[in-house]
Amino acid sequence: MFCALSVSTALVFAQAKMPQGEFVCQVKDADGETRFVGIQASDVNRAKAIAEGKAKWAVPAGREVVECINPNTQTFRQREAQKLYREDVR
């Protein structure tokens, strides 16, 4: 009895592992505003799909993705975007 209860309790508390990659996507909202969205995903392509609203767990749809980067190893191609991102993070 105890063994069966322990197994079922473990199943209740089991959770899916979160993706380990952290990405930042520069997006243009429907209102024309440029924003930066932090996304946890398995890779940059998945982060882009989430930012575009094409994934099951996504930010609001209607955004145009300009660029997604890993902020630990990459910078935005456009200097102005990188400058805005650094100011935004502070």
pLDDT tens digits, 8-50? 445 555 566 766 789 999 999 888 899 999 999 999 999 998 8
Task: Output the CA torsion sign for 48, 53, 56, 60.
Answer: positive
Query: How confident is residue 63, by pLDDT bands cut at 50, 70 and 90?
Result: confident
The whole-model pTM stands at 0.72
Q: Where are the domains of the chain?
A: 16-89
Nearest to 27 by CA among 72, 58, 73: 58
Could you tell me the CA-to-CA distances from 53 to 7, 41, 64, 87 in Å, in that order? Answer: 37, 13, 9, 25
Which residues lie across from 68 on neighbouring strands? Answer: 25
Q: In whole angstroms, what is the distance from residue 27 CA to residue 70 CA? A: 15
